[in-house]
Structure 1
Amino acid sequence: MPRDDPNKRFLKFCVPIHKHALNGNWPAAKRILDKQNELKNAAIANGWHTLLHISAGANQIHFVKELLKMLHDNDIALQDANGNTAFCIAAAVGNMKIVDLMLKRNPDLPIIRGALGYTPIQNAALQGRYKMAWHLYDKTIHCFEDNDWELLFFACIYTGIYDLALKMARGRNALAFARDVNEETALHLLAQNQMPLDSCCHCLEHDHHPIMTNPGMKNHVVFQLVKFLWTTILDRHYTSKDELNEIINKPSQLIFDAAEVGNFGFLSELISAHPSLIWEMDSKNRTILHIAVLHRHASIFNLVHQIGHIKDVIVTFEDEDRNTILHLAAKLARRGQLELVSGAAFQMCVELVWFEKVKKIMLPAQIKSKNSKDMTAEELFSNEHEKLREDAESWMKKTAESCMLISTVIATGVFAAATTLPGGTDDTGKPNYLKKPSFLVFAISDTFAFISASTAILIFLSILVSRYREYDFYKSLPLKLIFGLITLFISITSMMVALSTSFFIIYYHGSMWIPSCITILSFLPILLYIRLQFKLFSDIIYSTYYWKTLSKLGKNMIYVLEK
């Protein structure tokens, strides 16, 4: 092989220095550069990446700092095969220190475009680098063209940098009407928003003039952005229904997108500014109340408490298959909504709660109306929930059988303890420790354990012999299970107390550390029971009393700000 073979030189120098750059090993890289100085600005990897590209992408701050001392200003602006400078990469990974080091050497780096013609701030925004996007904003916008504004604006919407998007929209109202590559406006994207509201993207670090939104909710910047965009659109097209419909209904009907995902805050802003949207219908002749029922969004459904007699008109609407809103409540909820509670029995309970609450707002004549398949809402409910009812029956039986077995074991054990008294009896059959306080505690706790265990057996037996009709899961079976688990807990607790006091009686004249340790250890099964059954208890209570969620007024969707 020739002495200057490029493959050999690549393996001998480029590969090692590449690894040193990734690991931030500057001393080792410096030794190679002392021998091969031309590598400091050469393309040493596929894609024409230089040492600066690699170390900046790997967040190696010290390595970049030392390397910059060896580079000329022109070297810092070198681009890879995609057109990205090292500054573009540093902005995309969000390393503020590296970005500032490069800016000191070349202030024009923020306006050098990279891959696809994107500026570094656009790369940072697409990666969700909140602080970096703000850091580069004022350094970049002076070179922006109209297309750049839209690219950055939508990048901020995609990744949740809403306060920067709001700042841009305030400065350029035309962004409210802009559409992305999918022909969606910012409002279409925000309608489908399901991002948690506790993320940093919703804070207002840079805004000292917040827009007031629904006073019943936190003044999140995402809702401020929605309100600003919507009011901007209304200011221009409020009197032109056709133009307004063109904006909010193409490519999809955004209020129904929001209703489908349960975006209460979004709908609150739109409907409060334009209440006529309550009457809007989708392509299947359904209003947002129909969608809220179909997708089980209680916060949106509670709008019925605000609109008075309007709901009496809306509930008469039928979709293209002649389904009333009660028929939609009769359909099986989507998997994601069902799994808000665990266990088929409780899912069945929540479904029944929904069906009953919607039935209460229906006109009596419509409750028995049939759809295009000649089915009433109740018949549709039975048909849609048959598999869920069977699963609920199976789950309830297995749970009752297991709990009944445990209750039987406890009842047997405490009954045996009551007949063989701790400490024994004298010749007349009188307990030797009858007058001791510990014996009294034992007698009471043992009796409580037996009675509660026996009660639990009867409750779980009543569950086992139930007919498991649909409406048995509405309240009857969940309440029985609650009382059964409570009595089982009482029996376990009482049994542990009886066990502890029996040892105090037996070792009364001996080593007191033995009953003391046993007493402490006896609380472990109680704590374990609470820990393991807490989720089950919460699911039972949630499903059984879920109707209160659908009955309470909660947050008002339509609001008026007091001036």
Structure 2
Amino acid sequence: METEAKGGMDPALYKAATQGCVGILRKLVVNDVKILNSKTPQDNTALHLAALHGHPKFAQQLLAVSEELMVAKNADGDTALHLAAKTGRLKVLDLLVGLARAWPEEPNPEDTLLKSPLMMTNNEGNNPLHEAVRHRKTAVALALLDADHSRAHDLNEKMESPLHMAAREGLVHVVRKVFDFAWVEPAEYVPSAAVSGTALHQAVLGGHTKVVEIMLERQHAALLDMTDPNGNNALHYAAQKNNSHVVELLLGKKTQLAYSRNKDQQSPLHVAAQYGSTAVIKALLQHCSDVSEMEDGNGRNAFHASVISGKANALRCLLRRVRPAELLNRADKNGDTPLHLAAKMSHVHSALMLLRDRRVDPCIRDHDGETARSLVEKKLHTGVTDAHEMYLWKQLKRQESARCRKQQLPPVTFSGDSRTSSHKYFERSVETYILVATLIATVTFAATFTMPGGYNQETGIAIHGHDTAFKIFVISNTVAMCSAIVVVYCFIWAWKDPLKFKIDQLVWGHRLTMIAGLGMLVSLMASVYITVPHKSRWPAYVVIAIGMSTPAVVVLMLGRDVIFVPL
């Protein structure tokens, strides 16, 4: 028998199992019943193959001869029931489940032959219900739950239960079925370091609001207070995913969740600020406005968290909704305010946003006696001068001189020249933009006096003036020309203050250049459409197709870089 297993399955049996030929099976068994012990190189028995290919009658005939095939495992540790669950073979599964229900009790857990197939696990520690849920076979999972609902809480090698998986995958019917059964002790939900929290955490991570609603309706008291190994509750997870609807559900059940802390002493608002979850920030502050006062283990509030993570959108949201000036100027354990951190970490956008808020005090000194201005100044002394940081330094210096006259401040030890500290490619970029914009303005201006289709010699009016395509040409040509003219004039004044220009106007110049180019493209398509004969339009359609695909090709080649200034 062992030799047969190593040599592979009998070809006739293999063919019969994959095709479900019961007649051939009977003939083979009559000749030699031991043929059922033969296996494929992956240790699949004939029952495995029948389950895999969905042949219930063939499987029934096999089990009538050898019921021990029910607990036979292949190289992956899968039984036939595992394979039926993976592939969603419901008829085969119903047959196997019916036999598994009548399986004898398990007096010895080590005795595989006496262990119920519903409980048996594969090499990953998954029981059949794990596999059904993992492969999103809802009907199969429901059938397995009807057979033995307690299997929904078995843990695999990754310490995940089928309930964890169903919650993460958003299998609403499976989760509802699990919670329809008797109460499960909270100990069943205790997470491990290998899984991201409880089943509720998984549902929140997956963004499955309906699953969350079911859990909160049935067993919210036990689940709400449970945390993952890092001390995060479900509200911390909702803050990560910017799911304000789930936040509303959770706070509706227990408002105190907003004040809970993880192992880093972070509140859900800290997490929302760290991940840039603006919708959650709004919801948390609407329900619990004083949560903004909470500090983490380093003495940092949500403003600090948003600055450290570089989430300018979260910082903007906090500035609009948190009123006390004290919180904006709060120093952490190192003496750093949010403005200090923004200066230290070169988060120029965040620093400028803070400076624009009159509540932010630029005069505060850290434990080393440094202001935000002097911190930036130290970086500029290193010689690696960035235009954005130079601009920030100028703004900080101006704010200090205007607002900190009566206070003792670190001396100004740097005098930067905006012209020498400009980006080395700035001059080339300005010249390129001016050249491109000038060409576009010239071409579009010329097109104005060479209208497609020509003029009426008597009236001087364009021949196709009443056509929709002609009107599109006129508008797009005008947009292209005017955009190009604005770019030319803006870039002429760029030399006056390059740093200010790079921060404030360069992006707009880039965008207007792109708009001008798109306008030229539209005017090209419209003019070709006008001038091509009506009886033979196909060249015009080809030109339109090429023109419309041109922006797509540029985006495909450059990706998101197309919206940024190439400096």
Same-fold call, TM > 0.5?
Answer: yes
Assess if the C-alpha contact under 8 Å between 1:126 and 1:158 holds in 2: yes
Assess if the C-alpha contact under 8 Å between 2:437 and 2:487 holds in 1: no
Q: What is the distance in 2 between the residues matched to 1:325 and 1:447?
A: 52
TM-score norm. by structure 2 comes to 0.63
Report the residue type matching 1:155 in the other structure: P
Task: Please state whether the residue corresponding to 1:41 is helix, strand or coil.
Answer: helix
Alignment partner, residue 395 of structure 2: none
Q: What is the distance in 1 between the residues matched to 2:273 and 2:309?
A: 11
1:264 positional shift: 3.9
Task: Please state whether the residue corresponding to 1:173 is helix, strand or coil.
Answer: coil
Corresponding position: 1:513 with 2:564: no
1:391 positional shift: 12
Assess if the C-alpha contact under 8 Å between 1:178 and 1:186 holds in 2: no
Structure 1 residues 278 and 9, CA, compared in 2 at 3 Å: closer, same or farther?
Answer: closer
Q: Deviations over 1:326-375 (max 9, x none)?
A: 22221234xxxxxxxxxxxxxxxxx4443233223242244344434444
Alignment partner, residue 32 of structure 2: 37
Alignment partner, residue 304 of structure 2: 327
Alignment partner, residue 523 of structure 1: 544
Alignment partner, residue 489 of structure 1: 518
Corresponding position: 1:228 with 2:218: yes
Give the counterpart of 1:457 among 479, 484, 491.
484
Q: Deviations over 1:430-466 (max 9, x none)?
A: 9589456227879987765654333322444537948
Q: What is the distance in 2 between the residues matched to 1:289 and 1:9?
A: 60
- Residues matched between the structures, number: 463
Give the counterpart of 1:115 among 108, 121, 125.
121
Report the residue type matching 1:490 in the other structure: G
1:490 positional shift: 3.1
Structure scoring higher RCO (CA < 8 A, sep ≥ 6) equals: 1
Give the counterpart of 1:151 among 145, 149, 154.
154
Structure 1 residues 91 and 108, CA, compared in 2 at 3 Å: closer, same or farther?
Answer: farther
Report the residue type matching 2:47 in the other structure: L
Corresponding position: 1:438 with 2:472: no
Q: What is the distance in 1 between the residues matched to 2:214 and 2:550?
A: 46
Q: Deviations over 1:403-450 (max 9, x none)?
A: 87665544444445556677899xxxx958945622787998776565
Task: Please state whether the residue corresponding to 2:198 is helix, strand or coil.
Answer: helix
Q: What is the distance in 2 between the residues matched to 1:398 and 1:190?
A: 56
In the TM superposition, what are the counterparts of 1:273-288 in structure 2 within 5 Å? 273-288=253-268
Corresponding position: 1:95 with 2:89: yes
Report the residue type matching 2:178 in the other structure: M
Q: What is the distance in 2 between the residues matched to 1:281 and 1:177?
A: 22
Structure 1 residues 481 and 225, CA, compared in 2 at 3 Å: closer, same or farther?
Answer: farther
Give the counterpart of 2:324 among 345, 355, 363.
363
Assess if the C-alpha contact under 8 Å between 1:84 and 1:115 holds in 2: yes
Q: What is the distance in 2 between the residues matched to 1:36 and 1:388?
A: 82
Assess if the C-alpha contact under 8 Å between 2:82 and 2:128 holds in 1: yes
Structure 1 residues 14 and 494, CA, compared in 2 at 3 Å: closer, same or farther?
Answer: closer
1:164 positional shift: 3.4
Alignment partner, residue 54 of structure 2: 61
Unaligned runs of 5+ in 2: 105-115, 351-385, 389-422
Structure 1 residues 459 and 229, CA, compared in 2 at 3 Å: closer, same or farther?
Answer: farther
Corresponding position: 1:381 with 2:342: yes
Moved more, 162-171 or 118-127: 118-127
1:304 positional shift: 4.9
Q: What is the distance in 1 between the residues matched to 2:181 and 2:424?
A: 61
Q: Deviations over 1:236-279 (max 9, x none)?
A: xxxxxxxx6xx558662313344334454444333212222333
Assess if the C-alpha contact under 8 Å between 1:103 and 1:109 holds in 2: no
Quick one: percent identity of the two aligned structures? 15
Structure 1 residues 500 and 409, CA, compared in 2 at 3 Å: closer, same or farther?
Answer: farther
1:52 positional shift: 1.2
Q: What is the distance in 1 between the residues matched to 2:297 and 2:205?
A: 33
Q: What is the distance in 1 between the residues matched to 2:271 and 2:343?
A: 21
Alignment partner, residue 79 of structure 1: 71
Report the residue type matching 1:108 in the other structure: A
TM-score norm. by structure 1 comes to 0.64
Assess if the C-alpha contact under 8 Å between 2:441 and 2:481 holds in 1: yes
Q: What is the distance in 1 between the residues matched to 2:88 and 2:527?
A: 63
Moved more, 388-397 or 181-190: 388-397
Q: What is the distance in 1 between the residues matched to 2:25 and 2:347?
A: 73
Q: What is the distance in 2 between the residues matched to 1:158 and 1:391?
A: 50
Q: What is the distance in 2 between the residues matched to 1:286 and 1:418?
A: 63
Q: Deviations over 1:495-537 (max 9, x none)?
A: 4333444x36xxxxxx6535x444434433553356568999x
Structure 1 residues 495 and 50, CA, compared in 2 at 3 Å: closer, same or farther?
Answer: closer
Structure 1 residues 477 and 366, CA, compared in 2 at 3 Å: closer, same or farther?
Answer: farther
1:133 positional shift: 1.7
Q: Deviations over 1:61-120 (max 9, x none)?
A: 34x534644652543654225786533432343311222355677863695442379864
Assess if the C-alpha contact under 8 Å between 1:258 and 1:267 holds in 2: yes
Give the counterpart of 2:146 among 138, 147, 151.
138
Task: Please state whether the residue corresponding to 1:89 is helix, strand or coil.
Answer: helix
Q: What is the distance in 1 between the residues matched to 2:126 and 2:478?
A: 75
Structure 1 residues 480 and 173, CA, compared in 2 at 3 Å: closer, same or farther?
Answer: farther
Report the residue type matching 1:356 in the other structure: R
Task: Please state whether the residue corresponding to 1:438 is helix, strand or coil.
Answer: coil
Alignment partner, residue 47 of structure 2: 52
Q: What is the distance in 2 between the residues matched to 1:482 and 1:67?
A: 67
1:380 positional shift: 2.3
Q: What is the distance in 2 between the residues matched to 1:353 and 1:397?
A: 31
Assess if the C-alpha contact under 8 Å between 2:487 and 2:512 holds in 1: no
Structure 1 residues 521 and 75, CA, compared in 2 at 3 Å: closer, same or farther?
Answer: same
Alignment partner, residue 188 of structure 2: 178
Q: What is the distance in 2 between the residues matched to 1:74 and 1:289?
A: 61
Alignment partner, residue 240 of structure 2: 260
In the TM superposition, what are the counterparts of 1:306-317 in structure 2 within 5 Å? 306-307=286-287, 311=289, 313-317=290-294
Structure 1 residues 131 and 447, CA, compared in 2 at 3 Å: closer, same or farther?
Answer: closer
